[in-house]
Amino acid sequence: MAHAQRQTSTPIQDYESATIVSDLMQIADYITHMREEIAALRANEMTRDRIPMAHEELGSVLAATAGATNRIMAAAEALIALPEGPGQRPALEEHVNTIFEACAFQDITGQRISKVVDALQSFEQRLDRFIGAVRARDAVSHDPAERARQERAAQFLLNGPQDEAVATSQDDIDALFA
């Protein structure tokens, strides 16, 4: 039956069949390429290992800076409150040493932040490659929480700290109030 049908097909039908086969092969190639790009993204590794690591490291940085700030401030407050007298010098040295010790947080937090920066650079490279491969375009966000956050930020001008190069300086602000 199929043999009989092929014998009766027209040149136009043959052309259409060839086009469909060609299109399907292109789609199959695209899917294979996409699977390779998705694999190169290593999304599971990101969500399983590196993003939790970044959360953990930044949490540690936050705790270390808060702890160091509290120790430094407590020592400074104790210094201000020191009564004059023979015991003043040893007490002063003790509090100053506490401040020096507390400043050691910077070394460790610097190393932790470097790990997070490395992870972010890796994500950026992988995402750049993926965006290029799929020619991705951003859709409008439908996340209500994110939309509410953006609306609040716009309404109340929650711009956050600015880069020093573009931030308005205290001198410029003072000029506005002069």
CA distance 47 to 45: 6
Q: Please enumerate in sequence order all residues whose Cβ is within 8 A of that of 125, keeping only pairs 6 or more positions apart, or say none.
A: none
CB atoms within 10 A of CB 71: 16
Stretch that binds another protein, among 26-34, 38-46, 73-81, 103-111 (CB under 8 A): 73-81
Q: Which of 46, 53, 76, 79 binds another protein (CB under 8 A)?
A: 76
Site string for another protein, 6-45 (x = CB under 8 A): ----------------------------------------
Integer-rounded Cα radius of gyration of the chain: 31
Q: Which of 7, 8, 10, 169 binds another protein (CB under 8 A)?
A: 169
CA distance 131 to 21: 28
3 state DSSP class of 143 = coil
Q: Compute how many residues bind another protein; rule: CB under 8 A.
A: 22
Q: Is 154 in the site for another protein (CB under 8 A)?
A: no
Residue 130 in tokens:
């993926």
Residue 91 in tokens:
């007490």
Q: In this structure, are residues 53 and 88 in contact, taking their beta carbons and an 8 Å threshold?
A: no
> How far apart are CB 177 and another protein at their closest, in Å?
6
Q: Is 103 in the site for another protein (CB under 8 A)?
A: no
Q: Is 125 in the site for another protein (CB under 8 A)?
A: no
- For another protein, the binding residues (CB under 8 A) are 66, 69-70, 73, 76-77, 80, 156-162, 167-170, 172-173, 176-177
